[in-house]
Amino acid sequence: MKLFLDTASIADVRRAAPWGVISGVTTNPTLLAKEGGVPYRQRIEEIAAVIDGPISAECITRTAEELVAEARTLASWHPNVVVKIPIDNEGLKAIHRCSQEGIRVNVTLVFSANQALLAALAGAAYISPFVGRIDDTGGEGMEVVRQSVAIIEQHRLGAQVIAASLRHPLHVTEAALAGSHIGTVPPAVLEQMLRHPLTDAGIARFLEDARKAGL
Ligand code: E4P
């Protein structure tokens, strides 16, 4: 499973990039709103200068006509931009038209395997089930990831599943085990994945013993 970083913070992207584990970035309006009014295009270009992989930028219009026009604009910002479109009646039309034009779409706000199937059939490049938000409603988010991956692979539909709305390290492990092609992780979760108190204690002990051994 590949990892994307789920953030609009260029500082977070710059901190994680040298680790060599991040192959793309996902943004959304909520994440951008935390960035103090930075223009969306500027931030996408800044991120694309650091990470050489798919950078998702989200559409905020509602009709298919508007979504396609907006998708063309977002896609023109950088060759690595992937356009996020929410799945609904208008969204599905826009996803199909974008895919026919060669604009890669990350279908967002996916909450069921059937939505994932529709997105894949319409031509989505990426499909993002929102695991944490499904869990919040008493559902089992990871089951939607597992079913979506199985449907896409069994029927060779060509899309990649991005396990999104991941809230803690166990979500990441479970997404990988569920066969998700990609997991998009918030910076805090990436840090949590890295850290283990026994690693810290072990490093401290080895350094202390190295001094005792005269190394
Ligand atoms: C990523 O594509 C999603 O927009 C993001 O993971 C949503 O996460 P949230 O449910 O924590 O807002």
User: How confident is the model over 41-80, as pLDDT tens digits?
Assistant: 999 999 999 999 999 999 999 999 999 999 999 999 999 9
Mean pLDDT over residues 170-176, rounded? 98
Distance CA 131, CA 166 (A): 6
Distance CA 113, CA 66 (A): 26
User: How confident is the model over 93-130, as pLDDT tens digits?
Assistant: 999 999 999 999 999 999 999 999 999 999 999 999 99
CA 79 to ligand 1 centroid distance, Å: 23
User: How confident is the model over 113-123, as pLDDT tens digits?
Assistant: 999 999 999 99
pLDDT value of residue 93: 98
pLDDT value of residue 76: 98
Mean predicted lDDT score pLDDT of the chain? 98
Mean pLDDT over residues 178-193, rounded? 98
- Ligand 1 atom nearest to 133, measured from its CA: 10
* Three-class DSSP labels, 28-58: CHHHHHCCCCCCHHHHHHHHHHHCCCCEEEE
* Ligand 1, pocket residues at CB < 6 Å: 6, 26, 28, 30, 108, 128, 130, 132-133, 164-165, 184
pLDDT value of residue 39: 98
CA 27 to ligand 1 centroid distance, Å: 8
Contact 181, 201 (CB under 8 A): no
Distance CA 164, CA 167 (A): 9
Q: How many CB atoms lie within 10 A of CB 42?
A: 12
pLDDT value of residue 72: 98
The catalytically annotated residue of 2, 84, 93, 212 is 84
- Ligand 1 atom nearest to 84, measured from its CA: 2
CA 164 to ligand 1 centroid distance, Å: 6
Find, among 151, 126, 177, 132, the residue nearest to 24 by Cα. 126
pLDDT value of residue 178: 98
Mean pLDDT over residues 146-175, rounded? 98
Q: Which of 6, 47, 160 to mutate to test the pocket of ligand 1 (most atoms within 8 A of CB)?
A: 6
Q: Which residue is it, tokens 């690693």? A: 199
Q: What percent of the chain has pLDDT over 90?
A: 100
pLDDT value of residue 21: 98
84 is catalytic: yes
CA distances from 108 to 67, 95, 112 (A): 13, 11, 11
